[in-house]
Amino acid sequence: MSVSHVTTHILDTAAGKPAAGVAVELYARDGEAWSQIGAGITDADGRVKELGPERLDSGEYRLTFATGAYFAGIGQDTFFPEVSLAFTVNAAEAHYHVPLLLSPFAFSTYRGS
């Protein structure tokens, strides 16, 4: 199994557990538009390791998380139907890990390792 240049991990901080079954899409900026270049579903540990290409060019990228569907699936209301995170990639960097700490009415993120 290869690991993509960008990976993610979602923790449901309100429930105190990984957020399994969340659809995640990876996009690359193409001028003024965004082009989808990868997609995955979080596993039982809340991780997506095979999200897109093994190597990305330097540029702007975006992760979109289907948080509304996740919360609907566990019978929880949420303020965010989706979370979208834009970030910059330097092709010289070996790996980008972008975790999402999620609750029904708040989220945060950071660049992980």
Kindly list the domain boundaries of the chain, sorted by start residue.
6-109
H or E, element range at 8? strand 6-12
User: 9 a known binding residue?
Assistant: yes
Number of neighbouring beta carbons within 10 Å of residue 88: 10
Mean pLDDT of the chain: 94
67: helix, strand or coil: helix
pLDDT in tens, 63-83: 999 999 999 999 999 999 999
CA–CA distance, 24 with 5 (Å, rounded to integer) = 15
- Residue range 20-78, pLDDT digits in tens: 999 999 999 999 999 999 999 999 999 998 898 989 999 999 999 999 999 999 999 99
Per-residue pLDDT, 40: 96
**pLDDT given for residue 28 in this prediction:** 97
- Tell whether 47 is in a known binding site: yes
95 annotated to a ligand binding site: no
> Please, what CATH class does the domain formed by 6-109 belong to?
mainly beta
